[in-house]
């Protein structure tokens, strides 16, 4: 049963450019422009009319966009909940201009030791992440640590938790790695390791969407009865100011927005692509977190109930539930 009939999230790619070269990501390899404030202002007015409440300014590395504070201010002025994930390299320099504009600020950290984390990210950013956490706390922000979990770094969770996040009373977000296209994400987490990850999600100050675990144990999305509702729950806007449907990561169709996102999204041609969500050949076995999370939240099924405790836990710790009633 569908609980929400409109898109709730926008993944807004402000640029594909990145100052890291993570081995499990191919976005940084793409040439890219930067979105403009005029484009963002126009598109957000349409997103609001479509029912979108959360906007994730993503990339690439979003802090490479020099006008990111202006983009965030536009979103906040329209009542949007904002989220940004960063590798930390630029945050210490930009913290003050970003203060108060990001509701969910995440810093990526995949290991508790410098050598391992920097090797995974392809650039020396471990020290910058720790500095970013402390700078953010010093100006009254409440950042999260986002750990992308592979088989190779599963053992790092304990040290990250006890040495980095728990002493600072910060949430540790565990994000199981996902496969897409030809990107090498290493060996998948098997059943015992998924159950191990599930146990970590029960600890204080750790967030894990348990539906991510359940979906992987079930073999991912299945085309005959798709769990994924990527395009009907999530609007993806590219740096070229295009609407991407039904799924950015697997790559399908892009439509130039040309100043009227609402009309474009509701058009018959786009809705034909939206209707293909979760049913394409590439969708079989898919477990891409960024689309599954809103899919779980908008449909009443077993994944909704698996996701609910973690969602309530995150909102309790962060207080973001208040934003929904503004």
Per-residue pLDDT reduced to its tens digit, 102-123: 999 999 999 999 999 999 888 9
Strand partners of residue 2: 299
pLDDT for the residue numbered 178: 78
The CATH code of the domain that includes 172 is 3.20.20.70
Span 110-138, average pLDDT? 94
Q: How many domains does the chain have?
A: 1
Does residue 319 lie in a domain region? yes
- Phi, psi for residue 82 in degrees, rounded to 5: -110, 145
pLDDT for the residue numbered 185: 55
Asked whether residue 321 carries a pLDDT value surpassing 60, the answer given is no
Asked whether residue 184 carries a pLDDT value surpassing 90, the answer given is no
Query: What token pair was written down for 224?
Result: 């005959």
Element (H, E) at 93: helix 91-98
Span 256-278, average pLDDT? 96
- Phi, psi for residue 3 in degrees, rounded to 5: -95, -35
- Contact at 8 Å (CB) between 47 and 235? yes
Does residue 227 lie in a domain region? yes
pLDDT for the residue numbered 275: 94
Distinct helix (H) and strand (E) counts, the chain: 13, 10
Residues 6+ apart with CB under 8 A from 108: 85, 86, 87, 88, 121, 129, 146, 147, 148
Sheet containing 54-58: order of strands? 206-207, 172-176, 144-149, 104-108, 81-86, 54-58, 9-13, 234-237, 242-245, 253-256
Query: What token pair was written down for 210?
Result: 């348990």
Span 254-265, average pLDDT? 96
Does residue 1 lie in a domain region? no
d(CA 71, CA 11): 13
d(CA 37, CA 308): 35
Does residue 252 lie in a domain region? yes
Span 269-297, average pLDDT? 92
Residue range(s) defining the domain that contains residue 162: 9-325
pLDDT for the residue numbered 183: 53
Span 187-212, average pLDDT? 92
pLDDT for the residue numbered 177: 86
Span 154-181, average pLDDT? 92
State the average pLDDT for the chain. 91
Does residue 3 lie in a domain region? no
Does residue 220 lie in a domain region? yes
d(CA 312, CA 126): 30
Residue 179 binned pLDDT confidence (cut-offs 50, 70, 90): confident
Residue 181 binned pLDDT confidence (cut-offs 50, 70, 90): low
Rounded percentage of the chain residues whose pLDDT exceeds 90: 77
Residue 325 binned pLDDT confidence (cut-offs 50, 70, 90): very low
Span 10-31, average pLDDT? 79
Does residue 241 lie in a domain region? yes
Asked whether residue 270 carries a pLDDT value surpassing 90, the answer given is yes
Q: pTM of the entire structure? A: 0.93
Among the ranges given (24-33, 144-153, 268-277), the one the predictor scored with the smallest mean pLDDT: 24-33
Asked whether residue 160 carries a pLDDT value surpassing 50, the answer given is yes
Measured in whole angstroms, the distance separating CA 313 from the mean position of its chain's CA atoms is 18
Does residue 4 lie in a domain region? no
Summarised one tens digit per residue, pLDDT across range 215-256 is 999 999 999 999 999 999 999 999 999 999 998 877 679 999
């Amino acid at each position: 049963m569908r609980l929400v009939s409109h898109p709730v999230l926008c993944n807004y790619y402000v640029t594909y450019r990145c100052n890291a070269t993570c081995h499990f990501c191919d976005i940084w390899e793409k040439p890219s422009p930067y979105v403009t404030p005029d484009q963002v202002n126009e598109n957000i007015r349409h997103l609001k009319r479509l029912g979108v409440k959360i906007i994730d300014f993503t990339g690439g590395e979003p802090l490479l966009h020099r006008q990111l504070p202006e983009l965030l201010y536009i979103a906040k002025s329209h009542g949007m909940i904002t989220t940004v994930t960063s590798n930390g390299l630029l945050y210490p320099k930009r913290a003050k201009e970003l203060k108060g504009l990001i509701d969910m600020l995440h810093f990526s950290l995949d290991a508790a030791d410098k050598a391992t984390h920097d090797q995974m990210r392809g650039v020396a950013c471990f020290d910058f992440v720790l500095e970013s956490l402390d700078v953010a706390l010093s100006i009254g922000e409440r950042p999260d640590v986002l750990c992308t979990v592979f088989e190779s770094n599963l053992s790092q969770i304990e040290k990250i938790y006890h040495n980095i996040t728990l002493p600072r009373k910060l949430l540790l977000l565990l994000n199981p790695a996902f496969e897409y296209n030809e990107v090498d994400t290493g060996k998948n987490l098997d059943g015992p390791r998924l159950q191990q990850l599930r146990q970590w999600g029960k600890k204080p100050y750790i967030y894990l969407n348990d539906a991510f675990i359940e979906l992987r144990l079930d073999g991912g999305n299945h085309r005959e009865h798709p769990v994924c509702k990527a395009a009907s729950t999530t609007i993806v806007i590219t740096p070229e100011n295009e609407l991407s449907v039904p799924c950015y990561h697997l790559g399908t169709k892009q439509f130039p927005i040309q100043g009227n996102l609402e009309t474009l999204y509701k058009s018959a041609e786009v809705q034909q692509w939206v209707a293909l969500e979760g049913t394409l050949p590439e969708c079989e076995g898919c477990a891409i977190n960024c689309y599954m999370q809103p899919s779980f939240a908008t449909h009443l099924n077993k994944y909704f109930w698996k996701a609910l405790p973690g969602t309530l836990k995150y909102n309790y710790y962060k207080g973001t539930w208040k934003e929904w009633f503004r």
